[in-house]
Structure 1
Amino acid sequence: MSEAQPPTGTTGPSDRYGKARRPATGGSGRGRKVAIGVALAAAVGAVGWYTAVQQQASPVEYEDIGFDVVDAEHVDASFQVHMPPGTRAVCTVDALSPSYAQVGTLDVEVGPADTRTSAYEVTVGTSEEATTATVVGCDVVDD
């Protein structure tokens, strides 16, 4: 049998939709994907390392439990501190007004305790009536 020839005056399929694109000369798409993957893995590793260093640098965690507005000049704050047994820390408790302005502050020394978690209740003096009290931070006390 003879092969069929396209009729004259028609274009072949290769030219029907325009010229074929040439691949980019900057390298393969696979190399770029590998480079992006390596960069992402390095970024995740850096974040993990930073988090681990921060945890070791400040092993104290705190948790607000509640507060009670005693009167226009006092507010009671309850909180828990989580730190390794035998550790001492200083926690700062702020009393805040309705506009979140600080109307009182108190530094409280906590620990050392025999357990990882210990609870505290303190009274913060205020310059005007507070609507809340919260722990803003705890730092380890070096002996």
Structure 2
Amino acid sequence: MTTQALLDDRYGRTRSPRRRIVQWSIVGVVALGLTVALGWVTVSNTLGSVSTTDTGFSVADAERVTISFQISAPVGQPVACALEAQDEDHGTVGWRVVEYPASQDHTQAFSEEIPTVALATTGFVNSCWVP
């Protein structure tokens, strides 16, 4: 027997298979708990999220842009959206926040006009959220 083995035996530093099984079981339970928590956070964030799809825009003149878009939002929740118009240098020339009441439809289509301070070259939905 080696010196290390004699010292381990003398001072009770031997590793039993049962201890190793308990340690790996604890690691497994913690990993499973973290996986479940991550899954719950992901699902709960997805259930309350709002997604948008820009369907078009038209520049009427140097003072207004009309934006068409669709919103997919949770049923029964009001939604607010920030609409933006930009010029050819990607500078913001118009901005508007619109609020929509709660609806029983999951997806809705809208068309909104944004007042601008200069000629815009594009208009789009910057973001939408549940207030």
Under TM normalisation by the shorter chain, which class is it? Answer: 0.5 to 0.7
2:102 partner SS? coil
Structure 2: stretches of 5+ with no match in the other structure: 1-30
Tell me the amino acid that sits aligned with residue 103 of structure 1. V
- SS class of match (1:52): helix
Aligned sequence identity (%): 35
Structure with the largest fraction of helix: 2
TM-score (norm. length: structure 2) = 0.66
Q: Which of residues 82, 86, 105 in structure 2 aligns to 1:92?
A: 82
Which secondary structure does the structure 1 equivalent of 2:90 belong to?
coil
- Tell me, what secondary structure is at the counterpart of 2:43? helix
Question: 1:89 Cα deviation (Å)?
Answer: 1.1
The ranges of structure 1 where at least 4 consecutive aligned residues each deviate by more than 2 angstroms after the TM superposition are 45-54
**Residue correspondences, number:** 100
Q: How big is the alpha-carbon RMSD for the aligned residues of Structure 1 and Structure 2?
A: 2.3
Which protein has the larger Cα radius of gyration, Structure 1 or Structure 2?
A: 1
Offset, 1:47: 7.3
State the distance in 1 between where 2:44 and 2:68 align: 29
Counterparts of 2:121 and 2:79 in 1: how far apart (Å)? 26
Q: TM-score normalized by structure 1?
A: 0.61
- The letter for the 1-side match of 2:98 is V
Letter of the 1:118 counterpart: Q
Partner of 1:90, secondary structure, is: strand
User: Aligned match of 2:98 in 98, 103, 108?
Assistant: 108
Unaligned segments of structure 1, at least 5 residues: 1-40
The superposition leaves residues 17-44 of structure 1 with CA deviations (integer Å, 9 ceiling, x where unpaired) of xxxxxxxxxxxxxxxxxxxxxxxx99xx
